[in-house]
Structure 1
């Protein structure tokens, strides 16, 4: 897999090395509001001022910042030291940026007034509009903030744990999450989410599978158009993407982790389904042929 150009996206939020913690050592907002009037009362008298000065002095000489007592020592403070990833990680970051730019080029051609998503690169954990997540969650898309989230270490896991190596396999993962963004723009994500609690878990799982397979299809549509635009593919690239789709099928993952397969619990689709829908998008390039919600056989 090669690029005809090295164009990059302006929609990448690189948070690698940053903590997603809320901070520690500080008082809650409500308690701080109660404490502030007390501090003001202390400084209004000579005796209180002496007590406060002694307290601050003790904290200072014991290595504590007095301000942290009130506002907390936030882990989200911006530092002047930029994050320095390994050469391999930085190469993956550049690669992900280029893949995102390619998806922007393709979807801007297909969807009028396309709203481009943001790709967030993080390390270990991250906070999003959909809540906090760890690297164990894997790549995900949050419809609440139109952002894709990925810890680049996932690409290493694809090779080491899932036996799904290759740059085009990695590109498929990003394109799949962009596929979820397309679903959010079309309103399909909301249609599915509104059914939660209204139907049985078994039936909701089926809708979830349809949603995931459609995202696979959209990833294939991207690849179809990208190969005519700025992406040079060889025979092994399609095999890489199909192998990745095969590796993350519900049936294969369940068989690997528990030794048995429970179809009613599927939420992403079988390996065969995921490969079939990606390939359909890749071969047709027609967004109108990806209605996974109205077909007899997924």
Structure 2
């Protein structure tokens, strides 16, 4: 991936080296005690590990929990390669969505902040821990990313690569776009009125739409800055496949339970990422009509 030509965002909050901040009554990833009980109940009846059910939670429909106090940033090296790369990717999302979102939907784009940390930190949605994976918190409009996730991608999730890393960030920014469009609130309301299986299905649609929006971003970013290099798309597709619910559940338990999917199967994630990449059109990301 060629990212030198993308603008560098200032909306980066670097908390690496600060440590702590992940505990508290909110529980894992901002989940309340009641939600944690539900997760363990689902685990009991389906045989799926609670770790699998909670890992990678993107915090869709987190409710009205109190926002956590802001942490001050420790001194950081502005030339740190990881920080520079992420600032470029976020800058690229800002540059694309500031044009595409109002042009295609009439909604103004308001940038999100990317918080990078190591180990644990606090979010507006509660505690954030590395084991949760990257997530978007709609309460404080921030994306949380423990940079160790990139190391995990190299060893567990498709082999990594700059464009694969950018896809992960763009997916979370896709949730921010959904938030700006009012989709997250609507889905949250719907999930309160249906069964757990149906709520899971709605979560899958939200996640697949974020994959598609990541593809829309990549389409326009490539038009603007020629970011794609040979092999980039294949690496992103490998990542999309590796983080499919069926792959993760099979790795953890030896089998998959589709009714418990919350992010979509490997094939579905690849299909919707491809849809956004090919079209560059937000309308092509209507996962709720399919």
> What TM bracket, shorter-length normalisation?
0.7 to 0.9
Q: CA deviation at 1:20?
A: 4.0
Q: Which residue of 1 aligns with 2:170?
A: 175
| Whole-angstrom distance in 1 between the partners of 2:168 and 2:116 | 14
| Whole-angstrom distance in 1 between the partners of 2:200 and 2:250 | 18
Q: Which residue of 2 aligns with 1:165?
A: 160
| Whole-angstrom distance in 2 between the partners of 1:78 and 1:291 | 39
Q: CA deviation at 1:164?
A: 2.6
Q: Is the 8 A contact 1:4 1:231 kept in 2?
A: no
| Whole-angstrom distance in 2 between the partners of 1:292 and 1:11 | 29
For structure 1, list consecutive stretches of 5 or more residues without a partner in the other structure.
24-75
Moved segments of 4+, more than 4 Å: 76-79
| Whole-angstrom distance in 2 between the partners of 1:273 and 1:233 | 22
Is the aligned partner of 1:215 residue 2:188?
Answer: no
- Residue 121 (structure 1) aligned to one of 95, 116, 119: 116
Q: Which residue of 1 aligns with 2:13?
A: 13
Ranked by relative contact order (alpha carbons within 8 Å, sequence separation 6 or more), the top structure is: 2
SS of the residue 2:121 aligns to:
strand
Change (3 A) 1:8 1:199: same
Q: Which residue of 2 aligns with 1:94?
A: 84
Q: Is the 8 A contact 1:17 1:83 kept in 2?
A: no
Q: Is the 8 A contact 1:143 1:181 kept in 2?
A: yes
| Whole-angstrom distance in 2 between the partners of 1:248 and 1:77 | 30
Q: CA deviation at 1:91?
A: 1.4
Is the aligned partner of 1:82 residue 2:75?
Answer: yes
Is the aligned partner of 1:185 residue 2:175?
Answer: no
Q: Is the 8 A contact 1:93 1:152 kept in 2?
A: no
How many residues are paired up? 239
- TM-score (normalised: structure 2): 0.78
Is the aligned partner of 1:288 residue 2:283?
Answer: yes
SS of the residue 1:184 aligns to:
helix
- TM-score (normalised: structure 1): 0.76
Q: Is the 8 A contact 2:4 2:88 kept in 1?
A: no
Q: Is the 8 A contact 2:21 2:127 kept in 1?
A: no
| Whole-angstrom distance in 2 between the partners of 1:128 and 1:191 | 22
Q: CA deviation at 1:12?
A: 0.7
Structure with higher Rg: it is: 1
Q: Deviations over 1:71-98 (max 9, x none)?
A: xxxxx9969x73569x9xx312211110
| Whole-angstrom distance in 1 between the partners of 2:219 and 2:211 | 13
Change (3 A) 1:22 1:182: closer
SS of the residue 2:128 aligns to:
strand
